[in-house]
Amino acid sequence: MAERYLSRRRTLRRAGRFVTLAVIALAVAQSSWSISEADKFYDQIKIFNEVLSEVQFKYVEEDKVQTEALVRSAIQGMLKDLDPHSAYLPPKEYNDFREDTRGMFGGLGITIDIPEDGWLTVVSPLPDTPAFREGILAGDKIVKIDGESTEGIDIREAVRQLRGEIGTQVTITIFRPSDRSTVDHTITRDMIKIPNVYVYTIDDRFGYIRLIEFKQTASADLDQALDLLDEKDIEGLILDLRFNSGGLLDMAVEVSDKFLPKNKRVVSIRGRNGDNERPYLSRNKARSRLPLVVLVNQASASASEIVAGAMKDWGRGILVGPAGRRTYGKGSVQTVIPLSDQSALKITTAKYFTPLGRSIQDEKGIEPDIQVDIDENYQRQMLSLGKLAKLPKTIATVEQIWPPTLEEAQLAEESVDSATPEQAPGEIEDKESESDSEAEDKNPEIYDKELAKAVEILESHVIWASADELFK
């Protein structure tokens, strides 16, 4: 036993010296690392080897101190202290990560993040998924998964726990900040395959496109939507990025490319200390020059903010969002680096900057140009009730184009001349017989006030010249 102990300790020390020498050699070759930093690394890696050795040979439960598990935990702990978005992806999780961007996977149908408060948070439920049907809302805090607290959980570990075999169940405990309630939800996992665009026409004059995620098909999905709208000979366009949690950088650039002239800066990324700035420019002839309104809210994140920032900075479109709220503020770049054992390192390597040089991350999001006075609870309720993209009857009627099964587009086509934008459809009552609040209680209805404002803007012609000016 003693011989085996000493042998293994010598092996660990030799491994530590080998790693240290390799790092020092790399430091000499890289000007960003001084010899003194390499010395510090040597001192700390020596301590790490000592701790690893002592834990492996003295910790009371031997099954918990296997080398692979200890090193993996050390890596995860190191990355966790950097930011919520950097992570180590073991082989299976790396494969799951790649599946995410293809738009098909098994799970609950929510996008999640860990904001500054440290709690696992729902960025948005995806339409027509188990979580959406259960009533999970954007902003909900997942405080437990199957009875285990999520405090301090790594986001990749959370994803691993939430996913599973199709037909199996997982219980999540939701804390809802709006009413400070805590409720258990047992949800059956299902295959998550989501249409990525919803397309409508409004009064045969304006097109509406809702983009769900910036996955690998986002650019092609948007082309399909624009093709459908081309057949309608529309006069203006609404791009809805609300509750869009982002996705791939190249898709954000390609989506922006469809609305900008060639060679316009869409976004730039800057690495450590502002070095190595890389601009991303529009490369093709604009797909659409129509007047544009972009809908955003506090759950529009990452790639959504790139598109919104480009449209805002170039004056290409007007951003409409909730009063007093900015977009999510996720403006950092994660680079996925495959490792030798089929695992990967996902690490924050840069930040996004809008065409005018504003940091999405540091400024904590993008402020809408025009703000609509609605509270956060209203937005969540609108989404959960399937009322996103529902207009008051006085504004317009809607024709659904794609996808054919979308319940959100089941809008009444009758016009009600006496309704006002402040009233929900169907609430025209005899004012002498009952108050407005009593009528609302009897027939509650929610319509999309941000969308109504977008239509109002397009009808007012206030932005009709903006696109033509940019393309001169």
Burial of 278 (0-12, 13-18, 19+ CB in 10 A): exposed
Return the structure tokens found at 397: 């009627």
Q: How far is CA 229 from CA 190, 198, 202, 457, in A?
A: 32, 11, 11, 19
Residue 168, helix vs strand vs coil: coil
Q: Which candidate in 124, 302, 304, 332 is catalytic?
A: 302
Q: Which candidate in 113, 313, 369, 448 is catalytic?
A: 313
Burial of 249 (0-12, 13-18, 19+ CB in 10 A): buried
What is the length of the chain?
472
Q: How far is CA 342 from CA 70, 88, 89, 95, 261, in A?
A: 18, 12, 9, 9, 41
Amino acid type, 147: G
Return the structure tokens found at 408: 């959100």
Q: Are 185 and 109 in contact (CB under 8 A)?
A: no
Backbone angles phi, psi at 375, to 5 degrees: -90, 170
Rounded Cα distance, 211 and 219, in Å? 10
Rounded Cα distance, 295 and 369, in Å? 10
Residue 223, helix vs strand vs coil: helix
Backbone angles phi, psi at 118, to 5 degrees: 85, 0
Q: Are 408 and 387 in contact (CB under 8 A)?
A: yes
The residues, ordered by sequence, that sit 6+ positions from 158 with a Cβ below 8 Å of its Cβ are 112, 120, 142, 145, 150
417 catalytically annotated:
no
343 catalytically annotated:
no
313 catalytically annotated:
yes
* DSSP string across 347-414: EEEEEEE-TT--BTTTTTS---SEEE---HHHHHHHHHTT-TTPPPTTT--EEEEE-TT-GGG-----
Q: Are 467 and 292 in contact (CB under 8 A)?
A: yes
Q: Which residue has the tokens 């390609």?
A: 254
Q: Among residues 447, 425, 449, 423, which one has the least CA distance to residue 437?
A: 423
Q: Which residues pair with 292 in a beta bridge?
A: 237, 317
Amino acid type, 346: K
Q: Are 387 and 448 in contact (CB under 8 A)?
A: yes
Q: Are 45 and 20 in contact (CB under 8 A)?
A: yes
Q: Which candidate in 330, 351, 449, 453 is catalytic?
A: 330
Give the catalytic positions in this structure.
302, 313, 330
